[in-house]
Amino acid sequence: GIKRVIYASSSAVYGDNRQPSKCEDHQGELLSPYAVTKRVNELYARQYFQHYGMETIGFRYFNIFGLRQDPQGAYAAVIPKWVEAIKKGEALVVNGDGSTTRDFVHVSDVVDVNLKAALLADVYGKEAFGEVYNVCGGRETSLRDLVNTLSELWLELNPGDAMPGVEYQEFRPGDIHRSCGNGTKAKQRLGFVAKDRLREGLRELLK
């Protein structure tokens, strides 16, 4: 039978938690049906670990980005949407006033933490199972700062080109205004620390 399950949760389970650095043992009021489904998955996984001995590990992913990320759809991530807009010469749409923050983590770090969890030896990992972990960079970036970084990189790569403007719209219902993770638990129990790849990753996407 299946011995170990590694599953995707989300930083959305923190909801309206106002802690500047989100820790796994402090949730807030859930703000969307999506967040509810992720939290329920965590509870089921915990029960399967406690009652059946299944080695479950859940990852609360923060804002993942990297090559080949789909920019389409109402809930597409902000980085691929903005990169596509820049390349098309279209305005960058910001929901809110630009003060909203996100914790961006590169897809290569996501691969790394999944491999660590999959290959975790039982003798060392007993305390690691039945738990959830933040997969985050631990660095808070405002949308305003993200726009500025993209602009700098675009003009470096394309001297003389114009950078598209910014269009501000209303906050979306259920949006979390401030998001930054604490990666201490993943470091202590899984040996995982995400690298600071934001600028490097954005440059790669803009090429």
* Catalytic residue chosen out of the listed positions 7, 34, 48, 124: 34
Helix, strand, or coil here: 55? strand
Please tell me the distance from the alpha carbon of residue 180 to that of residue 54, in angstroms, as a whole number. Answer: 30
Instruction: Find the DSSP H helices in the chain.
Output: 33-52, 78-88, 107-118, 122-125, 143-157, 184-190, 198-206
Q: Are 168 and 94 in contact (CB under 8 A)?
A: yes
168 is an active site residue: no
Please tell me the distance from the alpha carbon of residue 14 to that of residue 60, in angstroms, as a whole number. Answer: 9
- Give the CA-trace dihedral at 117, 180, 68, 98, to 10 degrees: 170
Q: What is the CA radius of gyration of the chain?
A: 18
Q: How far is CA 108 from the centre of its chain?
A: 12
Let me know if 145 is exposed, middle or buried by CB neighbors in 10 A (0-12, 13-18, 19+): middle
Catalytic residues: 34
